[in-house]
Chains A and B, each alone.
Chain A
Amino acid sequence: MTHTLHRSGIHEDGSDDYIILAMVEGEDQEKINNLAELFRLVLKHNPINYTGKALFPNPTDERLLSLYRRIKIGMAVFNDREVLIQALREIKDKELGVSVVISGLFSHIAEDCQKIGLIRHTINFSLGIWGKREKLPSSKILDITTMCGHGLVSFNLVQFLLEEIKKGKKRIEEAAEILSKPCVCGVFNPHRAARLLREISLNNY
């Protein structure tokens, strides 16, 4: 399960894409309850997407916490680094004992961990895409579709929506929301997708 690892097109000069993932392995009920508590904290910060958003669009809906208790994993996407830092501070202070993974720029995560007083434990590096790259669309389209690690956002859907935007049949934000729907884990970042769709539309990529 490498949901958020291979997101392409993220550059050192800035990012609007950070994900908090927390999970519990096994059946330790105390840990499972702590996982739900962790997400009570995280969801207060209004992530732009999260596991279960399709079912419960209000992030303060208590039923989300029952969902996380049942599936023992949750994810939340932020586009604002300062909000992420605040959420991480609160998680650290609570000492819930649950494993937490952050996805984003390594340089940002290193700085933020230092600020908060955390020591990074394990890193997962992506060496990118190999093999028959000629089967892939343009890198700009991949920057959008790779935000769903399960590959459920199709290349053709991005192309189709770009055409719809060009014809004036869809607004960019509306297209970004449509693209986020197939991603059942809730890790697709519609804010970043809208920015990328705008860039592609303006530059005729």
Chain B
Amino acid sequence: MKIAEEKCQKCAKCLPFCPMGAIRLKEKKVIIEQDECVECGVCLRAGVCANSAFFRDELSWPRILRAEFSDPTIPHKKTAIAGRGTAEMKTNDITGRIKRGEIGVAIELGRPGVGTRFREVEKVIKEVTRLQITLEEANPISSLINDPKEGTLYPEILEEKVLSAIVEFKVPFARAEEILTLLIKLANQLDTVASISLIGRSNPDGSFPLEKFLIQNGIKFYPNGKVNLGLGRPLAEL
């Protein structure tokens, strides 16, 4: 994002709206720290600037990734879908993406509200790749992998900053403990925060083996979350 200097009245009312704190007062001017700005567009949409001083230049590669990952109104060029991830469990009743005997795993780097550089995302992808786990193809991160064998990203994107990015995959249920141990270890080595989530399918009797696994292993989880009600038709078989 940029500020048209001639339009800015230096009222500084916009400063608190920036999720990254990238709008600052410097030498009596309101400026945007370009390296910290994730192009989320909040300042532009907030309607806080009486003089409409905010604008966005046409973004080129790799900076365009900031907007694609941080501004939900901008679709990814590759997938034409806006946002950071996929439909994951939202349509699982129809797609059968996560089947019985599997768990869906997502680690969202930068969330909540801290942001992440892609170099942090690469750390996670490298480890997941080392364990021979395939990332969710529809997730926009997959299109940024330069070397699928090593799990490295295109080098020119590593310092780009985004509000968050999700590394998403599924594994057999039997690997749940191994994967969770890895993710928690990895998350604690990152230079940002990460929100971790798991997806599990119900048994025919309506019980959830994943919930049982988490409780039995003393793994804390929020008492709230998302539940697919199984109303989609036709239902996936598994």
Q: Interface of A with B (CB < 8 Å)? A: 1-2, 4-8, 10-12, 15, 17, 21, 23-25, 88, 91-92, 95-107, 109, 113, 118-133, 135-136, 142, 145-146, 149-157, 159-161, 181-182, 184-185
Contact = CB atoms under 8 A, between A and B. Distances in A.
A125 B211 contact: yes
Report the 10 A-B pairs with minimum CB-CB distance, sorted nearest first.
A121-B230, A97-B233, A130-B187, A99-B232, A160-B16, A124-B226, A122-B228, A154-B19, A10-B224, A156-B16
A126 B197 contact: yes
Given A2-B85, A132-B191, A120 B112 contact: no
A161 B46 CA distance: 15
B228 A125 contact: no
A104 B229 CA distance: 13
Contacts of B195: 2, 5-6, 126, 128-130
Interface stretch (B25-33, B55-63, B142-150, B198-206): B198-206
A17 B224 CA distance: 10
Interface in B69-121: 70, 72-73, 83-95, 98, 104, 106, 108-115
Interface of B: 15-21, 40, 42, 45-47, 70, 72-73, 83-95, 98, 104, 106, 108-115, 163-164, 166, 180, 183-184, 187-188, 190-202, 206, 208, 210-211, 214, 219-234
A123 B225 contact: yes
A103 B225 CA distance: 5
Nearest to B109: A131
Contact of A146 (B16, B93, B95, B112): B112
B224 A105 contact: yes
B227 A106 contact: yes
A88 B223 CA distance: 21
A123 B226 contact: yes
A103 B222 CA distance: 12
A129 B113 CA distance: 11
A6 B208 contact: no
Contact of B16 (A12, A17, A157, A181): A157
B114 A6 contact: no
Given A5-B225, A101-B226, A129 B19 contact: no
B79 to A, nearest CB: 12
A43 B36 CA distance: 39
Nearest to A20: B229
Contact of A123 (B106, B180, B208): B208
